[in-house]
């Protein structure tokens, strides 16, 4: 039993870490809370970065917390510090600049960093960007203002957001992806076509099934890229969305189990007592699909932060939630509920494509596991989304094709 005030250390001040700090303070007025981050800002909204990129949202609207908010709550936010290791025997977190932070309970909420473009010509060429942080966004905006052509590379949400930002800023935009269509693990050919058609409406040239072979610079800035299928694509700047690598390297050498993300049980606790993980970095047990997985969504990270903090402070609350995600997709919306990944062999799917508004189409794909609806993906009209969330929560069986197809038109 600690005889001193309880000491909490949190690695990462994203939405998971900051929510955890806030919850700890509410539950324990006397504890000490150190919130550590390598970034230079208090919590900002990553979900708002695409609108800042497009120029429709000013920087101050991206910020969620300021330094004063932390001071008022006696949360010791330490910015621009890189955590280098965790020693679970001594119960201490160490930083690259030699500082030590002893803890009674530790939360790893370190998210992930974007994978860089690794092809010949990329490392010594400027204006090739990842898109994860506020600082990334500021640098991209600066370059967009002096560019005429841009390439968005990748088949994920981040590549789409970059593509949308370039097109909104009236750059001549090419969107190149290796897969046969965008979100290859969640859409099918029809869904892919629906997205391509929307992108084309905004003047984007979409190329599938090809990859960057090399970047050809001129005076240190991109001139064009060569693809493995022999294309040459002009680009003054390149936006890269090739996924993220979860920040688990700080746990190397510790007994904390890592498998992709930091493995936690339904209480978000790792195999080492007193050490928890939350948000993007957590490989957590999802009771809806009855297996561990990672999830890169804002709401999931926020709820994780809350539940982890309750448990760090001595509570015993299981994380049970249906993660949801909505995002603009050019001039329509995309909504994802639960687990919508068809690369899981246990999933069965049905889909519907139909005419929508503004000359676009609506697309809906439903994901079933053991006859239960576990995931929903909707492009275009969101009508019926709330009812479908209730169906996912209900765990009701849908054994026949007719029963499943009826859900495709639920409004
Ligand atoms: C451009 C963009 C758009 C998005 N749009 C949406 C959306 O529309 N809807 C949605 O639901 N989700 C969206 N997401 C995903 C969502 O933002 C994330 O799921 C969420 O922010 C994850 O929060 P987190 O607290 O787990 O991690 P993060 O926000 O990644 O925070 C982790 C922090 O820890 C820091 N850190 C890591 N390692 C160390 C270390 N060794 N030492 C010190 N600090 C460290 C990181 O730099 C970072 O600041 C988007 C993400 C991006 C990048």
H helix or E strand, kind and range, residue 307: helix 298-312
The predicted structure's pLDDT at residue 44: 98
In this structure, which residue's CA is closest to atom 30 in ligand 1? 111
The predicted structure's pLDDT at residue 3: 55
Tell me whether residue 123 is in a domain. Answer: no
Tell me whether residue 361 is in a domain. Answer: yes
H helix or E strand, kind and range, residue 46: none
The predicted structure's pLDDT at residue 287: 82
Q: How far is CA 222 from CA 83, 128, 151, 235, 367, in A?
A: 34, 8, 10, 6, 41
Q: Which of 183, 212, 242 is the last residue of a domain?
A: 242
Tell me whether residue 121 is in a domain. Answer: no
Q: Residues with beta carbon inside 6 Å of ligand 1? A: 11-17, 36-39, 46-47, 49-50, 82-83, 109-111, 131-132, 158, 161, 247, 250, 279-280, 296-299, 301, 325, 327
Tell me whether residue 93 is in a domain. Answer: yes
Same domain, 103 and 133: no
Same domain, 253 and 233: no
**Edge-to-edge, what's the strand order for the sheet holding 372-379?**
324-329, 332-338, 372-379, 361-369, 347-355
Same domain, 171 and 270: no
Q: Which of 312, 338, 363 is the last residue of a domain?
A: 312
> In this structure, is the dihedral angle defined by the CA atoms of residues 275, 77, 141 and 223, taken in order, positive or negative?
negative
Q: How far is CA 158 from CA 22, 49, 128, 131, 205, in A?
A: 29, 11, 14, 7, 17
Count of domains for the chain? 3
Q: Which of 287, 312, 337 is the last residue of a domain?
A: 312
Instruction: Give the domain range for residue 224.
Output: 128-242
Q: How far apart are CA 38 and CA 258, in angstroms?
A: 21
Task: Supply the DSSP string of 207-239, one letter for each residue.
Answer: E-S--EEEEEEETTEEEEEEETTS-EEE-SEEE
Q: Please state, as a whole number, how many other Cβ atoms lie within 10 Å of the Cβ of residue 148.
A: 12
The predicted structure's pLDDT at residue 344: 77
Q: Look at the block and give the residue holding tokens 């084309």.
A: 200
Tell me whether residue 317 is in a domain. Answer: no
In this structure, which residue's CA is closest to atom 27 in ligand 1? 111
The per-residue b/e assignment along 253-288, b for 16 or more CB within 10 angstroms, e otherwise, is: ebebebeebbbbebbbbbebeebbbbbbbbbbbbeb
CATH code (residue 402): 3.30.390.30
The predicted structure's pLDDT at residue 286: 87
Block means of pLDDT (10 residues each) for the chain, length 411 residues?
80 98 96 98 97 96 98 98 98 98 98 97 96 98 97 96 96 97 94 96 97 96 97 98 97 97 97 98 89 92 98 96 89 92 85 91 95 96 94 94 95 89
Tell me whether residue 157 is in a domain. Answer: yes
Same domain, 389 and 332: yes
CATH code (residue 81): 3.50.50.60
Q: What is residue 174's DSSP assignment?
A: E
List, in order, residues 6 or more apart from 193 with CB less than 8 Å away. Answer: 181, 353
The predicted structure's pLDDT at residue 237: 98
- How many whole angstroms from 357 Cα to the centroid of ligand 1? 33
The predicted structure's pLDDT at residue 321: 87
């Amino acid at each position: 039993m600690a005889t001193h005030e309880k000491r909490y250390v949190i690695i990462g001040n994203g939405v998971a870490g900051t929510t955890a700090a806030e919850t700890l303070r509410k539950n324990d007025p006397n504890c000490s809370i150190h919130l550590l981050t390598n970034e230079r800002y208090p919590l900002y909204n990553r979900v708002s970065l695409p609108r800042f990129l497009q120029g429709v949202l000013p920087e101050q609207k991206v910020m969620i917390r300021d330094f004063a908010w932390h001071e008022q709550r006696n949360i010791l936010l330490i910015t621009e510090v890189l955590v280098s290791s965790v020693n679970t025997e001594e119960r201490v977190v160490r930083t690259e600049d030699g500082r030590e932070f002893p803890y009674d309970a530790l939360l790893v909420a370190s998210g992930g960093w974007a994978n860089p473009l690794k092809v010949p010509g990329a490392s010594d060429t400027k204006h090739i960007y990842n898109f994860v942080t506020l600082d990334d966004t500021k640098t991209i905006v600066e370059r967009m203002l002096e560019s005429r052509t841009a390439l968005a590379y990748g088949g994920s949400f981040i590549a789409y957001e970059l593509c949308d930002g370039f097109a909104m800023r009236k750059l001549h935009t090419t969107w190149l992806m290796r897969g046969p269509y965008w979100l290859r693990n969640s859409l099918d050919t029809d869904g892919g076509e629906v997205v391509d058609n929307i992108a084309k409406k905004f003047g984007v040239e979409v190329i599938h099934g090809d990859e960057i072979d090399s970047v050809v610079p001129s005076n240190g800035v991109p001139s064009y890229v060569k693809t493995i299928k022999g294309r040459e694509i002009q680009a003054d700047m390149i936006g890269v969305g090739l996924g993220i690598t979860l920040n688990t390297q700080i746990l190397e050498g510790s007994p904390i189990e890592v498998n992709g993300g930091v493995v936690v049980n339904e209480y978000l606790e790792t195999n080492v007592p007193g050490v928890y993980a939350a948000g993007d970095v957590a490989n957590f047990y999802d009771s809806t699909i009855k297996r561990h997985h990672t999830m890169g969504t804002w709401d999931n990270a926020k709820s994780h932060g809350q539940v982890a903090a309750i448990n760090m402070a001595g509570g015993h609350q299981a994380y049970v939630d249906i993660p949801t995600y909505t995002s603009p997709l050019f001039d329509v919306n995309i909504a994802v509920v639960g687990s919508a990944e068809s690369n899981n062999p246990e999933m069965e799917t049905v889909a519907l494509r139909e005419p929508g508004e503004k000359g676009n189409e609506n697309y809906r794909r439903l994901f079933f596991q053991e006859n239960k609806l576990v995931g929903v993906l909707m492009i275009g009209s969101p009508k019926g989304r709330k009812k479908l969330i209730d169906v996912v929560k209900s765990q009701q069986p849908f054994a026949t094709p007719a029963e499943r197809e009826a859900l495709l038109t639920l409004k």
